[in-house]
A and B are shown apart, each in its own frame.
Chain A
Amino acid sequence: MFILAEMKNVTRIPPELFNLKLNEAIAGELNKKLANKVVLNVGLCIALFDIISLQESFIFPGDGASHTRVKFRYIVFRPFIEEILLGKIRSCSQEGVHVTLGFFDDILIPPSALQHPSKFNETEQAWVWEYDTGDGSKHDLFMDAGESIRFRVTAEMFNETCPMGPITMPETQENPDNKGSINEPGLGLLTWWDN
């Protein structure tokens, strides 16, 4: 679920931060730049883990700021395919069930990946699993917003939306498309499987 990503960067420390210790100033700048951003092919950046190495700092003509080469490790949220995660239902729509982890919202369980047979209830705005009790009757299991849900990660896409900008600088974007599924026994609302 969480990984460490090793990155390097040339960090600019503006003169007003010269009163701080260098590593504190750099940690602050890196967090300012990356926290809560999605980096292409890496994932959602959470917080700086540690600084591995600092090289000498440079001053360029015409700029009072110092530039420091830094190698660091960052905590990144990146679920792997097949991982089982716990989340809460944010909302239901025709497109499927939207799940949130609190800090990460963009997870969709499409209708094809819901328990079979499921249908969308327009009046309640919720997906319903028509559970077959075995004696010919059906038991409607509603998927209401706010309920805890266990799901499997089936696709992770931290894609870029606008392929622009310099090549060395990975684009950040806000809406990665992550897919989940609950069409296996044991997946779905936690209350469904409580004995």
Chain B
Amino acid sequence: MEIVNANCATLSNYEVLKHLQKVKESKMKHKGQLATITYETIRYLENAPCNDQSPQNITECLKALAPYNLNKTEKLMIINTPPTTALEIQLMIEESEERLTEEQVEQILDIITRYSPHVIKDKVEENEEIE
């Protein structure tokens, strides 16, 4: 075994979930640990926000986030665990207080709400509870 490139691409949680679901559905009999690790990883990812995402959502969200000068890992974190509060944005984005104004943080939160079904679903549930 020889490692050519230990990190040739980064995957979002959504991509991993879809790939593992395909692996699980394939009719090939899985030997060794593959069945265990796919089962456990799918279980973790199904409870994560990526379960409700779609490729269109993700690409549109990334396009909308383009003007804010975020780097790749920051965008990846936003897609994997969509923040819902300004506090979470502050955690994910380094030096966010200097790089982003308060209005920009609000705009980013708006964009995330618009494109992540999971946040919208939570909001709907909240409203239902209030009613």
Do B3 and A2 have beta carbons less than 8 Å apart? no
Q: How would residues 154 to 177 of chain A score, 1 for a CB under 8 Å from any chain B CB and 0 otherwise?
A: 000000000000001110000000
Do A46 and B81 have beta carbons less than 8 Å apart? no
CA distance A35 to B91 in the complex (A): 32
Q: Closest approach, in angstroms, between the C-beta of B84 and any C-beta of chain A?
A: 10
Give which listed residue, B7, B8, B31, B73, contacts A83 with CB less than 8 A: B73
User: Quick one: given A24-B28, A35-B33, A186-B90, are A7 and B11 in contact (CB under 8 Å)?
Assistant: no
Q: Closest approach, in angstroms, between the C-beta of A55 and any C-beta of chain B?
A: 14
Which of A70-78, A116-124, A129-137, A138-146 faces chain B?
A: A70-78
Interface size class of A (residues with CB under 8 A): 35 or more
B5 in the interface, Cβ–Cβ < 8 Å? Answer: yes
Q: How would residues 79 to 100 of chain B score, 1 for a CB under 8 Å from any chain A CB and 0 otherwise?
A: 0110001011011101000000
CA distance A101 to B47 in the complex (A): 11
When distances are taken between beta carbons in the complex, the residues of chain A under 8 Å from B13 are: 1-2
B114 in the interface, Cβ–Cβ < 8 Å? Answer: no
Do B3 and A86 have beta carbons less than 8 Å apart? no
Do B20 and A84 have beta carbons less than 8 Å apart? no
Do A2 and B30 have beta carbons less than 8 Å apart? no
Do B33 and A36 have beta carbons less than 8 Å apart? yes
Question: What is the interface of chain A, defined by CB distance below 8 A to chain B?
Answer: 1-9, 24, 27-28, 31-33, 35-37, 39, 41-42, 46-49, 71, 73, 75, 77-78, 80, 82-86, 101-103, 152, 168-170, 184-187, 193, 195
